[in-house]
């Protein structure tokens, strides 16, 4: 009996008490004879010598009574809620607190955690225990409620991209102290150790028993990528040593068409008993510049992701000097120091000014360039206005010219005085000037000014009302040293000294490198230090959730640069991408020095895995069995009463026994399919047997459904893939059927369903997906296959979609219907021969039915397709023209769905004024 009870349990065991009434029911049924039979007797003489071959008992046969007892017993047991393989969780009694780490470390196994929590809530609900949930990463005062109330909130609980901090642990202890009664605790750990976890454990153990649930698998994470010596160093860590194993690290970024893809992958190997695995990637600068993130394949957590920023991207800089290098005198070149500073972190674009501008470098440096031709100046101004950075250095040529004397030059931030200023030289009475501290409005604010940096010569700025606002660095006597102004979306910066050491010692100092870095001319390939970011404010662009997905930062406040580097991630400092000026900085979950380790629990704390036994309710099966037994009872009763021949009774009983199991076998799957397909509007695609084509078709309908959701009142659910041989088609208003050369021919039964679907108002969009290599027709393998597939279908006469067809105006006004490809005709049901344009209407009065088929080859699903993050899955064209084509493809999809849902509604006379207005007539 104990073994039996361990296999089955009941949700309402009190119903089983009804089984005690079965003996009484047995006695009652035995006392009731079968119904009497009325017979018409002929003359008595005809009965002479006749014998009655059948006799009727005055009591119900025992086997029929047993059948009825079994049926009633099946009903009682079925209503008691029997469950096979019940959960063996000890329900206990009293309040129950569920504690969750809810950090990024548990994100990969989060579905299993929620499943285990749900099982605990079910058991607590059966035991009548009040439950509360406390998340250590977002502590709130626990409120004990019925377990069923918490079950509805589980889908909204998600992990966060940080671990519990000391502050949050303190908050959690404070809210636990507010609970007056004792409670037991189930702690769902993410398996990672973190400071102060022992404090919260001691608090929980003082209030009751504590049981820990955690996964057996180690936690995997990545530290930020490092670019050094021309290679990218990637480091993965695991929380505990183990056998040798390999993980795949993938680099993701956008391809030239702007589609997010995996650009590179490499395997990192954890040696036996090692917790660190490293790999180096030597990638071309073009590919490296496209990478936006690295992640561990198969992991879905923020800790397994490292975002990239400017540190991996070598900047492209054009250096142009006003004087040529003299052979053998490189140290006298005005570009020598700039080249030495920028060569480790930037790529140089060589050529004249008009030659480098089409390459769109990140910055252009003009060293002592005084005169530009009109064509050069016009082109350079346009480049800066579009967001370019022009960095200019003074020199003898600029000092001797009349540049910016009478009026402000568009490519200079201030007006300049004639000649220059010389201090501290052999012909000067003064001393060399040092630098003043940088003002708060300067991009250099926070940088330490070395005492040995001096200036002996400079070009002077003329007094001007805007001068004070444009000075971002000055000498100790207040003379402007570096000035800046905005020009369109870009900026022009002028160093009033030379780019070499002739006028100042600035190019010889480390401050020069830091100043260029703050101006985003040099890339911070090395790790940023607190001193470099002191005084800067960084605005969040995108923040990362616990699963590693990025989302818009919204109105989150800016972050101090030092806090961004040295602070701890949490609600006020979320991992993601931050921006200051033109610079971007990635804040990842882990730092370069971070080491992760598994949590160690005291011996008196029981630790359990997160495996959940799958319970199987069998109440429905027992109720179906009872229905079958009662059906047999009715047939047997009719047979015993003489109202049904034994042969007929046997045939009916046999048919019932054969049909019921079949219906029972099909009912769960068919019922679930029908419920899911009819719960909301659902689009569907025909499964072709080609996994790649089917995946794209599903992603395409998902993208079209999302477009419909955001732009119309139609709110489709997740699309379905339908098997023509097995699934019912009547639930779907639209079927997308991609054609492949090798897909199997449907059976005769499937064609019966397809023809019934078309007759009942359904629409099939046939897509040969080959418009890039052939026009629609039988000239391609896909076109020939379409002819074979469509031959048994009851398809009306077709014609190329006319200009006044309702598809051109069902929601959007369209003239073309492109997908990934454009330019081919699409075919629809032909209009009636007698269709004529009605006076006052801009279109013919076509038939009021929905065209049953639309046929084309533009690969519409490929243009609609999006991934789970909402990003386009496949490229469409190039640049703006490609995105415009994708937009038209989405509009065609909207028109198609609106047409199948509303018919020729837009042909009604009531829409004529609005359509005429939109058409410009």
Section 482-495 average pLDDT:
91
Section 716-720 average pLDDT:
88
**Distance (Å, rounded) from C-alpha 66 to C-alpha 52?**
28
pLDDT higher than 90, residue 906:
no
Band of pLDDT at residue 37, cut at 50, 70 and 90:
low
Residues 563, 568, 571, 575, Cα dihedral to 10°: 80
Cβ(521)–Cβ(482) under 8 Å? no
Closest Cα to residue 111, out of 610, 658, 756? 610
Band of pLDDT at residue 256, cut at 50, 70 and 90:
confident
Q: Tell me the pairing of strands 720-722 and 684-686.
A: parallel
| More confidently predicted of 835 and 580 | 580
pLDDT higher than 70, residue 783:
yes
**Distance (Å, rounded) from C-alpha 8 to C-alpha 616?**
9
Band of pLDDT at residue 715, cut at 50, 70 and 90:
confident
Query: Which residue carries 């015993």 as its tokens?
Result: 640
Query: Which residue carries 């409005």 as its tokens?
Result: 441
Question: Helix 879-902 crosses helix 691-711 at what angle (to 10 degrees)?
Answer: 80
Section 680-700 average pLDDT:
90
Q: What is the pLDDT of residue 285?
A: 65
Longest CA–CA separation in the chain, Å: 162
Q: What is the pLDDT of residue 839?
A: 55
Cβ(267)–Cβ(247) under 8 Å? yes
Cβ(786)–Cβ(758) under 8 Å? no
Of the candidate ranges 78-92, 400-414, 862-876, the one whose mean pLDDT is the lowest:
78-92
Q: What is the pLDDT of residue 526?
A: 41
Runs of H (alpha helix) within 770-852:
781-790
Percentage of the chain modeled with pLDDT above 70 = 79
pLDDT higher than 70, residue 264:
yes
Q: Return phi, psi of residue 151, to 5°.
A: -60, -35
**Distance (Å, rounded) from C-alpha 578 to C-alpha 563?**
12
pLDDT higher than 70, residue 56:
no
Band of pLDDT at residue 221, cut at 50, 70 and 90:
very high
Residues 6+ apart with CB under 8 A from 919: 813, 842
Of the candidate ranges 117-131, 736-750, 813-827, the one whose mean pLDDT is the lowest:
813-827
Question: Helix 62-79 crosses helix 22-30 at what angle (to 10 degrees)?
Answer: 150
Q: Hey, what are 528's tokens?
A: 């940023």
Eight-state DSSP code of residue 273 = T
Eight-state DSSP code of residue 197 = H
Mean pLDDT of the chain: 81
Cβ(408)–Cβ(430) under 8 Å? no
Section 777-790 average pLDDT:
79
**Distance (Å, rounded) from C-alpha 720 to C-alpha 705?**
11
Band of pLDDT at residue 455, cut at 50, 70 and 90:
very high
Residues 6+ apart with CB under 8 A from 469: 441
**Distance (Å, rounded) from C-alpha 524 to C-alpha 636?**
90
| More confidently predicted of 185 and 431 | 185
Q: What is the pLDDT of residue 284?
A: 74
pLDDT higher than 60, residue 918:
no
Section 831-838 average pLDDT:
64
Partners of 278 in the β-ladder? 235
Of the candidate ranges 159-163, 242-246, 609-613, 847-851, the one whose mean pLDDT is the lowest:
847-851
Band of pLDDT at residue 664, cut at 50, 70 and 90:
very low
| More confidently predicted of 6 and 285 | 285
Section 353-370 average pLDDT:
87
pLDDT higher than 70, residue 457:
yes
Q: What is the pLDDT of residue 760?
A: 81
Section 395-401 average pLDDT:
87
Cβ(315)–Cβ(344) under 8 Å? no
Does the CA dihedral 197-198-199-200 come out positive or negative? positive
Q: What is the pLDDT of residue 294?
A: 94
Band of pLDDT at residue 92, cut at 50, 70 and 90:
low
**Distance (Å, rounded) from C-alpha 646 to C-alpha 636?**
9
Section 608-621 average pLDDT:
72
Runs of H (alpha helix) within 760-878:
781-790, 860-864
Q: What is the pLDDT of residue 801?
A: 84
| More confidently predicted of 704 and 652 | 704
Q: Return phi, psi of residue 177, to 5°.
A: -65, -20
Eight-state DSSP code of residue 44 = G
pLDDT higher than 80, residue 4:
no
pLDDT higher than 70, residue 46:
no
pLDDT higher than 50, residue 662:
no
DSSP E strands, 313-464:
315-321, 346-348, 363-367, 389-393, 421-422, 433-434, 454-455, 457-458
End-to-end C-alpha distance for the chain, whole angstroms: 86
Q: What is the pLDDT of residue 782?
A: 84
């Amino acid at each position: 009996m104990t073994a039996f009870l361990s296999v089955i349990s009941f949700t309402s065991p009190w119903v089983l008490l009804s089984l005690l009434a079965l003996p009484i029911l047995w006695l009652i049924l035995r006392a009731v004879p079968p119904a009497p039979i009325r017979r018409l007797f002929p003359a008595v003489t005809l009965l002479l010598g006749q014998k009655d071959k059948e006799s009727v008992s005055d009591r119900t046969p025992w086997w029929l009574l047993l059948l009825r007892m079994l049926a009633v017993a099946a009903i009682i047991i079925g209503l008691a809620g029997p469950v096979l393989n019940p959960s063996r969780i000890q329900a206990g009694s009293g309040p129950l607190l569920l504690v969750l780490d809810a950090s990024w470390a548990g994100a990969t196994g989060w579905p299993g955690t929620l499943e285990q929590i749900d099982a605990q809530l079910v058991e607590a609900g059966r035991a009548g225990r009040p439950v509360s949930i406390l998340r250590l990463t977002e502590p709130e005062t626990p409120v004990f409620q019925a377990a069923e109330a918490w079950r509805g909130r589980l889908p909204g609980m998600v992990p966060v991209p940080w671990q519990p901090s000391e502050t949050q642990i303190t908050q959690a202890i404070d809210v636990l102290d507010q609970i007056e009664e004792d409670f037991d605790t189930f702690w769902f750990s993410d398996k990672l150790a973190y400071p102060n976890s022992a404090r919260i454990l001691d608090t929980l153990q003082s209030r009751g028993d504590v049981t820990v649930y955690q996964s057996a698998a180690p936690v995997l994470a990545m530290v930020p990528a490092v670019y050094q010596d021309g290679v990218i160093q990637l480091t993965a860590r695991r929380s505990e040593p183990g056998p040798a194993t390999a993980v795949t690290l993938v680099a993701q970024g956008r391809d030239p068409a702007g589609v997010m893809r995996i650009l590179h992958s490499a395997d990192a190997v954890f040696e036996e008993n090692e917790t660190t695995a490293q790999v180096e990637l030597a990638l071309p600068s073009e590919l490296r510049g496209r990478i936006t993130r690295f992640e561990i394949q198969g992991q879905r957590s923020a800790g397994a992701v490292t975002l990239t920023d400017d540190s991996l991207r070598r900047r492209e800089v054009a250096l142009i000097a006003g004087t040529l290098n003299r052979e053998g005198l490189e140290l006298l070149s005005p570009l020598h120091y700039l080249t030495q500073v920028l060569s480790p972190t930037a790529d140089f674009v060589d050529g004249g000014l008009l030659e480098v501008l089409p390459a769109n470098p990140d910055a252009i440096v003009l060293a002592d360039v005084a005169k530009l031709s009109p064509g050069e100046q016009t082109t350079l101004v346009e480049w800066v206005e579009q967001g370019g950075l022009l960095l200019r250095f003074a020199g003898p040529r600029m000092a001797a010219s009349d540049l910016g004397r009478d009026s402000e030059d568009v490519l200079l931030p201030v007006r300049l005085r004639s000649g220059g200023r010389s201090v501290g030289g052999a012909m000067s009475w003064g001393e060399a000037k040092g630098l003043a501290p940088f003002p708060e409005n300067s991009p250099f604010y926070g940088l330490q000014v070395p005492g040995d940096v001096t200036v002996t010569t400079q070009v002077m700025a003329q007094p001007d009302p805007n001068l004070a606002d444009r000075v971002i660095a000055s000498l100790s006597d207040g003379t402007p040293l570096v000035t800046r102004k905005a020009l369109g979306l870009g900026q022009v910066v002028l160093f009033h000294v030379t780019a070499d050491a002739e006028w100042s010692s600035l190019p010889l100092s480390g401050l020069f490198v830091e100043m260029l870095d703050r101006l985003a001319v040099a890339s911070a390939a090395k790790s940023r230090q607190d001193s470099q970011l002191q005084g800067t404010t960084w605005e969040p662009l995108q923040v990362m959730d616990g699963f590693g997905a990025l989302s818009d930062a919204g109105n989150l406040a800016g972050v101090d640069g030092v806090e961004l580097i040295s602070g701890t991630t949490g609600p006020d400092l979320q991992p993601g991408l931050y921006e200051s000026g033109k610079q971007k900085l990635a804040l990842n979950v882990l730092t370069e020095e971070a080491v992760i380790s598994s949590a160690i629990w005291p011996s008196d704390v029981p630790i359990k895995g997160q495996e959940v036994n799958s319970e199987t309710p069998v109440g429905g099966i027992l109720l179906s069995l009872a229905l079958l037994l009662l059906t047999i009872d009715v047939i047997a009763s009719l047979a015993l009463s003489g109202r049904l021949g034994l042969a007929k009774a046997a045939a009916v009983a046999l048919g019932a026994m054969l049909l019921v199991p079949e219906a029972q076998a099909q009912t769960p799957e068919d019922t679930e399919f029908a419920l899911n397909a009819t719960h909301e509007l659902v689009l569907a695609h025909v499964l072709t047997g080609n996994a790649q084509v089917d995946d794209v078709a599903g992603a395409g309908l998902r993208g079209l459904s999302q477009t419909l959701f955001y732009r119309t009142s139609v709110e489709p659910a997740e699309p379905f893939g339908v098997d023509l041989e097995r699934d019912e088609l009547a639930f779907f208003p639209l079927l997308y059927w991609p054609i492949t050369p090798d897909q199997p021919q449907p059976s005769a039964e499937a064609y019966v369903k397809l023809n019934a679907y078309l007759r009942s108002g359904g629409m099939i969009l046939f897509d040969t997906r080959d418009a890039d290599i052939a026009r629609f027709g039988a000239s391609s393998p896909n076109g020939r296959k379409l002819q074979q597939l469509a031959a048994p279908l009851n398809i009306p006469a077709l014609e190329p979609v006319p200009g006044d067809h309702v598809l051109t105006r069902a929601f959007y006004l369209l003239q073309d219907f492109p997908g990934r490809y454009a330019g081919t005709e699409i075919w629809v049901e032909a209009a009636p021969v007698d269709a004529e344009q009605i006076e006052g209407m801009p279109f013919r009065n076509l038939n009021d039915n929905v065209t049953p088929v639309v046929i084309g080859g533009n690969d519409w699903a490929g243009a609609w397709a999006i991934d789970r993050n909402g990003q386009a899955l496949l490229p469409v064209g190039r640049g703006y023209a490609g995105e415009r084509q994708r937009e038209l493809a989405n509009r065609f999809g909207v028109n198609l769905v609106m047409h199948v849902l509303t018919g020729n509604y837009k042909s009604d006379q009531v829409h004529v004024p609005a359509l005429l207005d939109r058409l410009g007539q």
